[in-house]
């Protein structure tokens, strides 16, 4: 197929030239030269005709290229997008010792490692205490995460972030993820505490709302004690899981495990129309090279 099929009408020009080369009369003039022979015969006429036909073939190739030859490319696999929102606790207890730093330091380091093997996904970051703050909007550029670590440390948190209200923060993240119309939705909650807004069955109601919006929640309980039942319900009712890492090495494996549990899907994209210049370009170069050789001697002259 061609992107500009109307230009194919110009192929009449090289066809007319070919007709003139092979049908014209002439080439009968011969001048005497001392000791010179006079060539002739059908083979010589055919060779000369071929040499004189090459410009018409070059013109035909040029017309075909200008007409934009195209073909249908094979359908390609592409990585399905996953929207991942991190919800990180910055309450006062996140300053507690964990490995070589604080719980906050360990959590952010593990999150940054997680970004390296989730290329192609969209990431968002929310910090929370008694309130929540959407710090990084969902984006394909993970550099925003790496730059955010020192700005919202628990030691520097603004007023209203000293406590822990998980339910409020999770619902705030739900609004962000639900606004995305394409791709899967994942929420990773990192906390070392528990909040009263998950009591009396509130976590079940929140989990149902998340599940209705297609959001899977994974909870990382970054403390010595295991996560309470409300947080377990919150995660598992959405199809997610709760992890209780006891040290920094286990924390890193947690995010590797989350990656394995949520491997990106591959989608077949529709076949696309692409330019198909290569065979015509090769043909044009071959004709041009042959014409250059012909000009060295195999051409008609009237003397």
In contact, 180 and 210? CB cutoff 8 Å: no
Q: Judge whether 34 lies within some domain.
A: no
Lowest mean pLDDT among 80-84, 199-203, 233-237, 268-272: 268-272
pLDDT of residue 301: 54
Q: Judge whether 303 lies within some domain.
A: no
Q: Clarify whether residues 209 and 82 are in a common domain.
A: yes
Closest to 19 in 3D by CA, of 11, 27, 31, 7: 11
pLDDT of residue 127: 93
Q: Clarify whether residues 50 and 181 are in a common domain.
A: no
Q: Judge whether 95 lies within some domain.
A: yes
Q: Clarify whether residues 65 and 134 are in a common domain.
A: no
- Token pair for residue 280? 């015509």
Q: Clarify whether residues 153 and 226 are in a common domain.
A: yes
Give the CA-trace dihedral at 157, 158, 164, 169, to 10 degrees: -100
- The tens digit of pLDDT for each residue in 208-229 reads 999 999 999 999 988 878 888 8
Q: Clarify whether residues 46 and 91 are in a common domain.
A: no
Q: Clarify whether residues 261 and 275 are in a common domain.
A: no
Domain that holds residue 184: 78-267
- The tens digit of pLDDT for each residue in 20-67 reads 877 876 555 555 555 555 555 677 677 777 778 888 888 888 888 888
Strand-pair partners of 186: 84, 216
Q: Judge whether 302 lies within some domain.
A: no
**Total count of domains within the chain:** 2
Q: pLDDT band at residue 120, thresholds of 50, 70 and 90?
A: confident
pLDDT of residue 264: 54
- The tens digit of pLDDT for each residue in 176-187 reads 999 887 778 899
Q: What is the DSSP letter of 95?
A: G
- The tens digit of pLDDT for each residue in 137-172 reads 988 887 877 787 788 888 888 887 888 899 999 999
Q: Clarify whether residues 285 and 152 are in a common domain.
A: no
Q: Judge whether 213 lies within some domain.
A: yes
In contact, 85 and 213? CB cutoff 8 Å: no
Query: CATH number of the domain that 135 lies in?
Result: 3.40.50.410
Q: Clarify whether residues 99 and 128 are in a common domain.
A: yes
Residue 146 makes CB contacts below 8 A (sequence gap 6+) with 112
pLDDT of residue 88: 93
pLDDT of residue 170: 95
Q: Clarify whether residues 150 and 162 are in a common domain.
A: yes
Q: Clarify whether residues 263 and 130 are in a common domain.
A: yes
Q: pLDDT band at residue 271, thresholds of 50, 70 and 90?
A: low
Q: pLDDT band at residue 303, thresholds of 50, 70 and 90?
A: very low
Q: Judge whether 143 lies within some domain.
A: yes
Q: Judge whether 301 lies within some domain.
A: no
């Amino acid at each position: 197929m061609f992107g500009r099929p109307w230009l194919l009408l110009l192929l009449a020009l090289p066809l007319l030239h070919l007709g003139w080369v092979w049908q014209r009369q002439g080439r009968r003039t011969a001048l005497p030269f001392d000791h010179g022979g006079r060539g002739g015969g059908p083979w010589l006429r055919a060779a000369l005709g071929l040499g004189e036909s090459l410009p018409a073939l070059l013109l035909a190739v040029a017309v075909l290229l200008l007409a934009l030859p195209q073909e249908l490319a094979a359908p390609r696999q592409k990585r399905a997008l996953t929207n991942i929102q991190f919800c990180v606790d910055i309450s006062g207890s996140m300053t507690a010792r964990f490995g070589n730093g604080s719980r906050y330091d360990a959590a952010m380091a593990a999150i940054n490692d997680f970004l390296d093997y989730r290329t192609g996904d969209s990431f968002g970051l929310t910090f929370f205490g008694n309130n929540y703050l959407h710090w990084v909007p969902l984006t394909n550029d993970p550099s925003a995460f790496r730059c955010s670590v020192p700005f919202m440390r628990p030691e520097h948190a603004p007023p209203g972030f000293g406590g822990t209200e998980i339910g409020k923060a999770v619902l705030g993240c739900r609004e962000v993820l639900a606004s995305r119309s394409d791709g899967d939705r994942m929420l990773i909650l990192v906390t070392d505490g528990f909040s009263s807004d998950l009591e009396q069955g509130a976590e079940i109601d929140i989990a149902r709302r998340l599940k209705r919006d297609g959001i899977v929640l994974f909870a990382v309980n970054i403390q010595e004690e295991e996560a309470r039942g409300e947080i377990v319900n919150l995660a598992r009712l959405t199809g997610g899981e709760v992890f209780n890492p006891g040290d920094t090495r286990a924390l890193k494996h947690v995010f590797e495990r989350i990656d394995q549990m949520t491997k990106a899907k591959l989608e077949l994209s529709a076949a696309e129309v692409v330019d198909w210049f290569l065979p015509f370009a090769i043909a044009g170069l071959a004709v041009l090279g042959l014409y250059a050789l012909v000009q060295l001697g195999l051409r008609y002259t009237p003397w």
